Each structure stands twice: as structure tokens, then as C-alpha cells.
């Protein structure tokens, strides 16, 4: 079969959209990251000029890294530990609770389902109220504590996770549930031994998306977890900004360090994220 010649019109249809998407990705993601890296490699005088250029007075990447790491008795190390604890605990609770709720909402139909669906959607729509939340945390003794911050993060992310799990559960045949029940499996055993392993794609999606969201959260720890002992990585940005002086090279080095973990997660798990986000929509 003779192949048709590649005309300009066919080339535009076949490749132009992809080329435009690549260029937009470069402008939106790679250029800002390159600017952060270059600014973090300059000294204070050059960094204050905010020029997108190579360092003219030598590369100070390692020196800036050491300075940032040792600032205020290694507060960045404590912040990474606090952020890791907050992220792991919050995401673990989100995965377990939202998977169970999503499974029940999808499998068991009742007159209360519309109310539950409304409450789940309300969790996405209604904005968080800072002052009432602080008042509640103070009255139950969880203000300025890690458990209180974990509960806040779980509350903020639970609705989104429930919707993902519910959509994915709809792709699992009910015959698997019925077979397990016939074999004598109870509700807990049915969920954790039969259903939970099948939720791996959406579990990976929830873990990656919510880990990045919790790790990068700035306003939550600022309002509900104040204090140097409870500092998270995002709050360390205050170390290099003040009313009279801003150390831009150190600030951008801090931004670079706290950007690397989420970036690595997205690079290694981007396919799983897409699979988990689209499976329910395609099959359900």
C-alpha cells in the first residue's frame, strides 16, 4: 500500500499538538525549576538581581546548601522529620478510612446514601474555617500538636480520596464479594483480603497526590502547628525572609531542597497516578 506524502497540513495534525504541549510544559515546569536552581547557585548579591543567567561570580550551590542546612541549629532537619511524620501518618489514615468508606458507599445502597454523598461533596466545596477549627483544637487539647495537625490534614483530604476509591470500586465485580462471602469471609476479611489488593492503582494515586499535598501544605501548619519545635519544611522559608533583609540565594536553596522529594515521587509514579485517576471514569 502506497503511503501518502507528509504534507504540511498532515504534519500539523499529527505533530503540532504534541509539540505545543511539550513547549508549554517546558515553559511552565522546566524554566521555573531552572531559575530556582540558578538563583540557589549564586551569592547574595547576584541572587538579588533576579536575572535568569549563569552565576558570574562562581557557583555557590554547595556553600548555600551548607548554610541553609545549619541555619538555626539544623531546623531544616527537624522540619523534614516533622513533615515526614505528618505526611506518613495523614496519608495512611486517609487511605484506610477513605477506602473503607468508598467501598461501603458503592456497594451498599440505602436511603442515607444521598446524605452521605452530599457530605462528601461538601468536604470539597466548603472552605476551611480557621478560627473555629483552632477553637475546637484548643478545647480538645490538640492545638499545636502533631496529632491535631494530622487530623486536620486527614479532614481536608478525605473527600477527594473517597470519591477516587468509590469510582474505582465500581470497576470491581460484585461476584468477587459474593464468592468470598460464600467461602465464609466476614466483612473485615472480605475488604482487606479480597477488595484491598485490587485497589492498588488508586491507592498509589492517593498516596502520591496526598503526600505531595500534605508535604507542600503551608497554611495548615502555619495556623494549627506554630512553634520551632513543630516546624515543617514549608515554614522554614521564613528563615530567610524578613522585613528589612531577604537572603534570596538561601531562600531559593531552601525552595530547591523542599521541592526535590515531591518531584521524585511524581517522576517515578506518574503512570500509576494516571491509571488510578482514570480507571473509575473509564470503566464506571
- In which band, very low, low, confident or very high, does the pLDDT at 261 lie, cut at 50, 70 and 90? confident
Are residues 249 and 43 in contact, defined by beta-carbon separation less than 8 angstroms?
Answer: yes
DSSP, collapsed to helix, strand or coil, labels residue 241 as strand
10 vs 281, which has greater pLDDT?
Answer: 10
pLDDT at 122 over 90: no
List CB contacts of 67: < 8 A, sequence separation 6 or more.
250, 253
225-256 pLDDT per residue, tens: 888 788 899 888 887 776 556 788 888 999 99
Burial of residue 154 (number of CB atoms within 10 Å: 0-12, 13-18, 19+): buried
pLDDT number for residue 85: 94
d(CA 107, CA 185): 16
Q: Enter the pTM of the model.
A: 0.82
DSSP-assigned states of every residue in the chain: -PPPP--HHHHIIIIIHHHHHHHHHIIIIIHHHHHHHHHHTS-HHHHTT--SS--SS---HHHHHHHHHHTTTTHHHHHHHHHHHHHHHHHHHHHHHHHHHHHHHHH---TTHHHHHHHHHHHHHSPP-HHHHHHHHHHTT-TTSHHHHHHHHHHHHHHHHHHHHHHHHTTS-HHHHHHHHHTT--HHHIIIIIIGGGGHHHHHHHHHHHHHHHHT--HHHHHHS-SGGG--GGGGGGGGB-SS-B-HHHHHHHHHHHHHHHHHHHHHHHHHHHHHHHHHHHH-
Question: What cell numbers appear for 163 in the block?
Answer: 470519591
**In the chain, what are the domains?**
8-61 (no CATH), 71-283 (1.10.3720.10)
d(CA 127, CA 129): 6
What does each C-alpha distance from 239 to 192, 249, 259 come to in angstroms? 45, 12, 17
Beta bridge partner(s), residue 246: 241
Phi, psi of 241, deg, nearest 5: -130, 135
9-47 pLDDT per residue, tens: 666 666 777 777 777 877 878 888 889 999 999 988 888
112 vs 279, which has greater pLDDT?
Answer: 112
Amino acid at each position: 500500500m502506497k503511503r501518502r506524502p507528509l504534507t504540511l497540513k498532515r504534519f500539523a495534525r499529527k505533530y503540532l499538538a504534541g509539540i505545543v504541549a511539550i513547549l508549554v510544559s517546558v515553559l511552565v515546569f522546566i524554566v521555573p525549576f531552572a531559575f530556582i536552581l540558578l538563583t540557589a547557585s549564586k551569592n547574595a548579591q547576584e541572587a538579588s538581581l533576579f536575572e535568569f543567567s549563569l552565576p558570574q561570580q562562581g557557583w555557590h550551590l554547595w556553600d548555600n546548601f551548607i548554610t541553609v542546612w545549619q541555619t538555626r541549629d539544623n531546623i531544616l532537619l527537624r522540619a523534614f522529620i516533622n513533615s515526614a511524620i505528618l505526611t506518613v501518618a495523614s496519608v495512611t489514615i486517609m487511605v484506610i478510612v477513605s477506602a473503607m468508606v468508598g467501598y461501603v458507599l458503592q456497594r451498599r445502597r440505602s436511603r442515607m446514601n444521598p446524605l452521605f454523598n452530599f457530605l462528601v461533596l461538601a468536604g470539597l466545596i466548603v472552605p476551611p474555617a480557621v478560627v473555629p477549627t483552632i477553637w475546637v483544637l484548643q478545647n480538645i487539647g490538640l492545638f499545636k500538636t502533631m496529632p491535631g495537625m494530622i487530623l486536620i490534614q486527614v479532614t481536608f483530604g478525605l473527600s477527594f480520596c473517597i470519591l477516587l476509591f468509590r469510582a474505582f470500586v465500581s470497576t470491581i465485580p460484585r461476584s468477587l464479594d459474593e464468592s468470598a462471602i460464600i467461602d465464609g469471609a466476614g466483612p473485615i476479611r472480605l475488604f482487606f483480603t479480597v477488595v484491598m489488593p485490587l485497589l492498588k492503582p488508586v491507592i498509589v494515586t492517593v498516596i502520591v497526590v496526598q503526600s505531595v499535598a500534605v508535604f507542600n501544605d503551608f497554611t495548615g501548619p502555619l495556623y494549627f502547628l506554630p512553634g520551632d519545635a513543630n516546624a515543617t519544611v514549608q515554614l522554614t522559608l521564613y528563615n530567610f525572609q524578613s522585613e528589612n533583609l531577604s537572603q534570596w540565594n538561601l531562600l531559593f536553596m531552601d525552595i530547591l531542597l523542599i521541592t526535590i522529594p515531591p518531584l521524585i515521587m511524581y517522576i517515578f509514579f506518574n503512570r500509576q497516578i494516571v491509571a488510578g485517576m482514570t480507571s473509575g471514569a473509564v470503566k464506571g
